[in-house]
Amino acid sequence: MLSTERVQELESLQKQIGYTFRDVYLLNKALTHKSYVNENSETLKDNERFEFLGDSVLDLIVSGYSIKAFPDFAEGTLSKIRAAVVNESCLAELARQIDLGKYLLLGKGEASSGGREKNSLLANAYEALAGAIYFDSNLEAALDIYLPVLSKEIAKYAETARFRDYKSELQEYTQTQFNCIPNYKIVNEKGPAHAKEFEVVVVIQENTRGRGNGKSKKEAEQAAAKSALAGFNLTPID
């Protein structure tokens, strides 16, 4: 049986996330860390199974939305966006936004060592909560709660060029469309040895399709690939 105080705590969290559990014990389980189980009762169950399930739920939500939102993005770019959104630090920050740490059931040692603020525990609990919502209801319920938050993170990372590998995107495109790979050529170097600037062109089927500059060959090649993608109307987002 859950104590009256615990029921009130869980009611507060449910209002926070906008979802009422049919079975509140599932929510309690999603917030139960193994350290609490080890110190209290072997009959209790920790949240690791829900964490496992929630990881897949969040992956599916992010993947499904990204494919629809960015139809021109290559698989490699979509994978990078997903990895950036569902990684530990991002999920932990989302958990902090709903103050999830204060609802966790932790062992005394874990609690006294700052467990409620640990990225790993918060991210795992955030996944476990998604798993519990899915288990208590369905994917639509999880989508209603998580997509508004996750879509903002997806948009943020999609708009950040450093999460895009333009060379990989261009190569995937040319292999599919032209059955060839891009060829990069340095056409100009300028500046002193410690501050060189490179100019690179990318050639596809003997035609120059893009041009770019950078402080390294790799940076210039990425800029040239980005230029080529724009030329194919696969305009990268800056």
The CATH code of the domain that includes 102 is 1.10.1520.10
* Domain end among 163, 179, 210: 163
Q: Bridge partners of 199?
A: 188, 213
Q: What is the pLDDT of residue 235?
A: 60
Q: What is the pTM of this model?
A: 0.70
Q: What is the pLDDT of residue 237?
A: 46
Q: What span, in angstroms and rounded, lies between the C-alpha atoms of 230 and 233?
A: 5
**199 catalytic residue (yes or no):** no
**41 lies in the same domain as 122:** yes
Alpha helices, DSSP H, located in the chain: 4-17, 24-30, 34-40, 48-69, 75-85, 88-97, 108-112, 119-136, 139-158, 166-178, 217-231
Name the residue range of residue 198's domain: 166-231
Catalytic site residue from 46, 55, 110, 169: 55
Q: What is the pLDDT of residue 238?
A: 47
* Token pair for 93: 């920050």
**145 lies in the same domain as 201:** no
**72 catalytic residue (yes or no):** no
Kindly report the CA angle at 66 between 60 and 68, in degrees rounded to 5? Answer: 105
Q: Is residue 236 part of a domain?
A: no
Catalytic site residue from 127, 136, 153, 221: 127
- Which stretches in the chain have pLDDT values below 70? 42, 161-164, 235-238
**172 lies in the same domain as 188:** yes
Kindly tell me the burial class for residue 193, based on how many C-beta atoms sit within 10 Å of its own C-beta (0-12, 13-18, 19 or more). Answer: exposed
**84 lies in the same domain as 98:** yes
Q: Is residue 28 part of a domain?
A: yes
